[in-house]
Amino acid sequence: MILAIDTATRSAGLAIFDPEREVVLAEHVWRSHINHTVELTPNLHGMLVTQKLTTANLSGIVVVRGPGSFTSLRIGMSIGKALAYAHEIDIVAIPTPDVIAHAHRSRDLPLWAILEAGRGRVVAARYPVDGPESSEADYQITTLVELAEQINEPALFSGEIDSAGIRQLKDTLGPSAVLASPANRVRRPAHLAEAGWLKLKDGHADNAATLAPIYLHRPGS
């Protein structure tokens, strides 16, 4: 069983994926009250109990690597690494924007994956229709208004975008801004589990001892 843990932002989630049957057994997504330490363990315990599993049944761990909140990222990664050590199983970390992009692999427009960064800012990562995945060097800390002003093509936007953000994008880009539906904008841990499993089955596990989150800082902030 593959356990996926996402505590990168307020949008938190867990999923259990059965790689032998290629089935998502359980998934839980919630809007965190910035208290991931208190919320994560009970939610994980409840999900395992519901599926009549224990952590001893796990064969791999997938966590988000960031960008995201400094504290919340460390909580999810620490629990994931502890489980990997305790059960001597592989762990792999997936960049947070890649989880959003994984949900939109079948698309005909470039994708901008958006994460909340606090104080009106966002982390934005661009994924072309055909081409390599976005990399850490390509991530931007910006605002939606600043981001929209640099875009000169129709694009799909997904991730942590509320109604005010939608208006900002539409006001600047008009019909060139295509917004994923609210349900499809949710960063689902099932997608994290699937993306991690693809890497694990290809032998791309991370070193739990050296695995560290991705943190971004806007120049001058």
Confidence of residue 221 (pLDDT cuts 50, 70, 90): very low
Q: What pLDDT shows up at residue 219?
A: 44
Widest pairwise Cα distance in the chain: 52
146 in the same domain as 66: no
51 in the same domain as 115: no
Q: Quick: pLDDT tens for 138-176.
A: 899 999 999 999 999 999 999 999 999 999 999 999 999
Q: Quick: pLDDT tens for 183-194.
A: 999 999 999 999
49 in the same domain as 131: no
Tell me the HSE value of 142 on the side-chain side, using a 13 A CA sphere: 18
Domains contained in the chain, number: 2
Angle, CA of 150, 153 and 154, to the nearest 5°: 120
The answer to whether residue 19 is domain-embedded is yes
Model confidence at 132: pLDDT above 80: no
